[in-house]
Amino acid sequence: MEADRWIDRVGSQRNHLPEKTELTTLEGELRSLLKALQDAQGEIDPIQRAYEDAASESQRLKKREVDLATTLATSTGNARELGAIHTELDHVRELLGACEDRELELLLGLEPLEEVVVALRAKAQPELVRRTELQSQIVALEGSLNEELVSLREAREQRASALSPELLARYDSAFVRVGTSGAAQVDAGRCDGCRIALSPLDFDRWKAQPSGSFLSCPECGRLLLP
């Protein structure tokens, strides 16, 4: 009984490590951060592409402005040709101004989104480090507890070998049915396995049972130890 109860305790400890609970919570937070990061990046990407397009167009218009201004300054053409160049130059400068305004607008829209991305990454970094630490701790703790379980099971087998086949069969049958252990003690008139009080008749029968015999709990079936 004690061997099985210890095995159950250690197995429960292995399966309910606080590090596992913390890791589960942490991974949930990291998934939320990743989703927020993806959402922010999803907003940034089209604005970034539009900004790059606007910047490229600004460069093209600036080059055209320089070329037209140079041509105008050095041209020996007639008034009509010079007028056409001047008209195109004014149009290019108008387009350039609008393009630069658009470029600035997009840049201002990018900055807060990029700040969000930087903040999310800064928040995630220590959590990623902690996740690695927890994973290592869990592996070490589970390894230690698994070794302890092997030792406990070996001790359990040694104790079980000392029982008669009939008694061991009764114990194992109760153990399979209720788990934790196949026997229990009587504590203040109650089976300490199922915590159900024995009837006065069953309690008297339990007290009167001869040495080497074991009454089964009428509620859970565990063997009641004298």
How high is the pLDDT of residue 59? Answer: 95
How high is the pLDDT of residue 76? Answer: 74
How high is the pLDDT of residue 1? Answer: 93
What are the residues whose beta carbons fall under 8 Å from the beta carbon of 30, sequence distance 6 or more?
Answer: 124, 127, 128, 131
How high is the pLDDT of residue 27? Answer: 96
Rg of the chain, C-alpha, whole Å? 40
What are the residues whose beta carbons fall under 8 Å from the beta carbon of 138, sequence distance 6 or more?
Answer: 17, 19, 20, 23
What are the residues whose beta carbons fall under 8 Å from the beta carbon of 78, sequence distance 6 or more?
Answer: none
Is residue 131 a contact partner of residue 27, using CB atoms and an 8 Å limit? yes
Q: Which amino acid is at 179?
A: G
How high is the pLDDT of residue 212? Answer: 83
Q: How many CA atoms lie within 13 A of 93 on its CB side?
A: 10
How high is the pLDDT of residue 29? Answer: 96
- Which residues of the chain carry a pLDDT beneath 70? none
User: Domain boundaries in the chain?
Assistant: 14-160, 165-224
How high is the pLDDT of residue 187? Answer: 93
- pTM to 2 decimals? 0.69
The CATH fold assigned to 14-160 is Helix Hairpins (1.10.287)
Is residue 92 a contact partner of residue 61, using CB atoms and an 8 Å limit? yes
How high is the pLDDT of residue 80? Answer: 84
